[in-house]
């Protein structure tokens, strides 16, 4: 493929063409010609000082800017403004697009290349730019481009300029500028300016990437530590609750038996019988709480068997259908096909699903949507329940799995539902977490897929 466009050259800034774009100094100051030359040389010196000052100011800003995108934006806008180009784009390699330089930032007016077009890091063009290590006119570079997608991008900016971005000896990306708004040619001064700016930005980009990676790693570490602290705290609470529950359980059994005897002895006194009845009901309530507390610590040992989670979800949702439909709650299910079975207690998992769906119903009294999703991620089945309710204040999220944590009014909730869910999921060697979404919240349960995938216990 040959380039039909007129082949451009770099224009010197001085009318007489001083090599390297440096100021042209007249050899003899003679008359009007000499004064004109001196004035031009003075103009060039001023421009150079201005360029250097701009570079100095920008470098200072670059070092202070740690946000990657703001950094690129500043770089591109400054380059466009300084050389007067119509539009420009920065192509960079990132962790998701390992062997390609992709369009990361664009600025200016006019049509830009499509996003899907990218440069490969091992192309002849990349090789050429890395060896060159300075800006080059597009017309001079076209011969090095063999790939049609790369050619498409470059043609989009022709006649323009390409600035390699180098970190140490590696090409980390490139900035491409289109021609000038004024249609004037690029000057050696422009090239010098962009060359210095390009090397400054390359270092700043690497710094901001390192900073971002470090921030992300710190955040992950903090989250992992929090998870550990949370699970330790819940384990300690479980231990304590179980001890209390055991202690309460024995006298409770005795009280229950005596209540039966008492009821029999007051059978002919309706008033006393009614009091005994109420006492009995309250004793049953205590017994339920005690049972759930024990479930939180160590859920009832059901036999684990080959379980189709899709079926468990569907059966539980059918049971709750009347409850959520009368409340104007739309339940949307999105389940991946052909999921493997897991080794589980379907009864206990049903209880988990029921607790979470009931909570969602309680939190959306005016109606809303509950999306139930089931998918596979490596060796896990990931089940999520996302509601369009008000979410949970960030500071209380770590407390929701604690026994007796409730925001419901007295008599409406004991705050044991999620603790029991937590205990059951742990019993399955899984994990349950909650996170707020932009418009609601989401409970995510991860359950392990057995390595043989069809174990029957």
Ligand X SMILES: Nc1ncnc2c1ncn2[C@@H]1O[C@H](COP(=O)(O)OP(=O)(O)OP(=O)(O)O)[C@@H](O)[C@H]1O
**Angle at alpha carbon of residue 430, lines to 427 and 433, rounded to 5°:** 115
Task: Give the residues lining the site for Mg ion (CB under 5 A).
Answer: 359, 417
Would you state the structure tokens that stand for residue 406, as one six-digit string? Answer: 């409730």
Q: Report in angstroms how near the CB of residue 280 gets to ligand X at its nearest.
A: 21
Nearer to ligand X, 423 or 441 (CB): 441
Q: Please report the DSSP string for 198-211 in residue order.
A: HHHHHHHHHHHHHH
Of Mg ion, ligand X, none, which one sits near residue 408, judging by CB under 5 to 8 A according to partner kind?
ligand X
Of ligand X, Mg ion, none, which one sits near residue 387, judging by CB under 5 to 8 A according to partner kind?
ligand X
Nearer to ligand X, 208 or 295 (CB): 295
Find all residues with CB under 8 Å of 198, minimum gap 6, and list them.
Answer: 135, 163, 164, 165, 166, 175
Parallel, antiparallel, or unpaired for β 440-448 and 380-387?
antiparallel
Q: Report in angstroms how near the CB of residue 285 gets to ligand X at its nearest.
A: 12
* CA atoms within a 13 Å half-sphere pointing along the CA-CB vector of 25: 3
Residue 117 buriedness (CB in 10 A; 0-12 / 13-18 / 19+)? buried
Q: Report in angstroms how near the CB of residue 393 gets to ligand X at its nearest.
A: 9
Residue 23 to residue 310: CA distance in whole angstroms: 77
Of Mg ion, ligand X, none, which one sits near residue 370, judging by CB under 5 to 8 A according to partner kind?
none
Nearer to ligand X, 118 or 360 (CB): 360
Task: Give the residues lining the site for ligand X (CB under 6 A).
Answer: 355, 359-360, 363, 387, 389, 392, 400, 405-408, 413-419, 441
Q: Report in angstroms how near the CB of residue 358 gets to Mg ion at its nearest.
A: 6
Of Mg ion, ligand X, none, which one sits near residue 298, judging by CB under 5 to 8 A according to partner kind?
none
Of Mg ion, ligand X, none, which one sits near residue 389, judging by CB under 5 to 8 A according to partner kind?
ligand X
Of Mg ion, ligand X, none, which one sits near residue 330, judging by CB under 5 to 8 A according to partner kind?
none
**Cα 283 to Cα 8, 272, 293, distances in angstroms:** 94, 16, 15
Of Mg ion, ligand X, none, which one sits near residue 357, judging by CB under 5 to 8 A according to partner kind?
none
**Angle at alpha carbon of residue 107, lines to 106 and 109, rounded to 5°:** 120
Of Mg ion, ligand X, none, which one sits near residue 363, judging by CB under 5 to 8 A according to partner kind?
ligand X
Q: Report in angstroms how near the CB of residue 355 gets to Mg ion at its nearest.
A: 5
Of Mg ion, ligand X, none, which one sits near residue 414, judging by CB under 5 to 8 A according to partner kind?
ligand X
Find all residues with CB under 8 Å of 370, minimum gap 6, and list them.
Answer: 324, 329, 330, 331, 332, 357, 360, 364, 385, 386, 387, 388
Residue 375 to residue 354: CA distance in whole angstroms: 19
Residue 326 to residue 356: CA distance in whole angstroms: 17
The length of the chain, given as a count of residues: 457
Residue with nearest beta carbon to ligand X: 417
Q: Report in angstroms how near the CB of residue 151 gets to ligand X at its nearest.
A: 54
Q: Report in angstroms how near the CB of residue 416 gets to Mg ion at its nearest.
A: 8
Nearer to ligand X, 189 or 423 (CB): 423
Q: Is the dihedral of CA 248, 251, 253, 257 positive or negative?
A: negative
Nearer to ligand X, 214 or 325 (CB): 325
Nearer to Mg ion, 190 or 402 (CB): 402
Nearer to ligand X, 219 or 282 (CB): 282
Task: Return phi, psi of residue 87, to 5°.
Answer: -150, 160
Nearer to Mg ion, 193 or 296 (CB): 296
- The CA-based diameter of the chain, rounded to the nearest angstrom, is 135
Of ligand X, Mg ion, none, which one sits near residue 406, judging by CB under 5 to 8 A according to partner kind?
ligand X
- Which H or E run includes 284? helix 270-297
Parallel, antiparallel, or unpaired for β 305-307 and 329-335?
unpaired
Residue with nearest beta carbon to Mg ion: 417
Residue 264 to residue 425: CA distance in whole angstroms: 43
Q: Report in angstroms how near the CB of residue 296 gets to Mg ion at its nearest.
A: 13
Residue 41 to residue 38: CA distance in whole angstroms: 5
Nearer to ligand X, 264 or 298 (CB): 298
Q: Report in angstroms how near the CB of residue 412 gets to ligand X at its nearest.
A: 7
Find all residues with CB under 8 Å of 17, minimum gap 6, and list them.
Answer: 24
Would you state the structure tokens that stand for residue 149, as one six-digit string? Answer: 């997608």
Helix, strand or coil for residue 57?
A: helix
Nearer to ligand X, 346 or 389 (CB): 389
Q: Report in angstroms how near the CB of residue 236 gets to ligand X at its nearest.
A: 18
**Cα 145 to Cα 22, 151, 156, 391, distances in angstroms:** 32, 6, 14, 53
Q: Report in angstroms how near the CB of residue 229 gets to ligand X at its nearest.
A: 19
Nearer to Mg ion, 160 or 417 (CB): 417
């Amino acid at each position: 493929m040959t380039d039909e466009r007129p082949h451009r050259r770099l224009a010197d800034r001085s009318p007489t063409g001083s090599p390297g774009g440096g100021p042209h100094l007249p050899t003899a100051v003679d008359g009007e010609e000499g004064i004109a030359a001196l004035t031009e040389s003075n103009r060039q010196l001023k421009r150079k000082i201005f360029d250097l000052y701009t570079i100095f100011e920008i470098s200072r800003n670059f070092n202070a800017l740690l946000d990657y995108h703001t950094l690129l934006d500043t770089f591109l806008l400054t380059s466009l403004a300084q050389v007067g180009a119509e539009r420009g784009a920065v192509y960079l390699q990132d962790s998701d697009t390992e062997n390609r330089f992709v369009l990361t930032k664009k600025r200016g007016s006019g049509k830009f290349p499509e996003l899907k077009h990218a440069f490969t890091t091992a192309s002849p063009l990349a090789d050429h730019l890395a060896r060159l290590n300075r800006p080059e006119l597009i017309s001079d570079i076209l011969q090095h481009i063999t790939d049609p997608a790369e050619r498409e991008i470059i043609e989009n900016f022709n006649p323009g300029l390409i600035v390699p971005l180098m970190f140490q000896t590696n090409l980390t990306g490139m900035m491409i500028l289109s021609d000038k708004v004024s249609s004037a040619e690029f000057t050696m001064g422009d090239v010098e300016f962009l060359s210095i700016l390009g090397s400054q930005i390359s270092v700043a980009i690497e710094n901001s990437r390192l900073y971002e990676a470090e921030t992300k790693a710190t955040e992950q570490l903090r989250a992992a530590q929090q998870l550990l602290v949370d699970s330790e705290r819940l384990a300690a609470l479980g231990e304590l609750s179980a001890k209390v529950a055991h202690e309460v359980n024995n006298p409770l059994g005795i009280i229950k038996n005596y209540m039966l005897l008492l009821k029999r002895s007051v059978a002919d006194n309706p008033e006393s019988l009614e009091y005994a009845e109420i006492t009995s009901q309250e004793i049953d309530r205590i017994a339920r709480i005690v049972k759930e507390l024990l479930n939180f610590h160590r859920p009832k040992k059901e036999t684990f068997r080959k379980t189709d989670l899709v079926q468990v979800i569907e059966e539980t949702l059918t049971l709750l259908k009347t409850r959520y439909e009368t409340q104007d709650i739309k339940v949307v299910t999105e389940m991946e096909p052909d999921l493997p079975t897991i080794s589980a207690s379907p009864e206990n998992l049903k209880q988990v699903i029921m607790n979470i769906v009931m909570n969602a119903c309680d939190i959306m009294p005016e109606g809303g949507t509950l999306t139930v999703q089931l998918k596979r991620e490596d060796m896990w089945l990931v089940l999520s329940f996302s509601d369009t309710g008000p979410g949970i204040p960030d500071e209380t999220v770590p407390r929701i799995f604690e026994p007796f944590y409730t925001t419901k009014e007295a008599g409406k909730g004991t705050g044991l539902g999620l603790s029991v869910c937590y205990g059951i999921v742990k019993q399955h060697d899984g994990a349950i977490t909650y996170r707020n979404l932009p418009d609601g919240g989401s409970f995510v349960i991860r359950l392990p897929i057995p390595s043989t995938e069809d174990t029957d216990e």
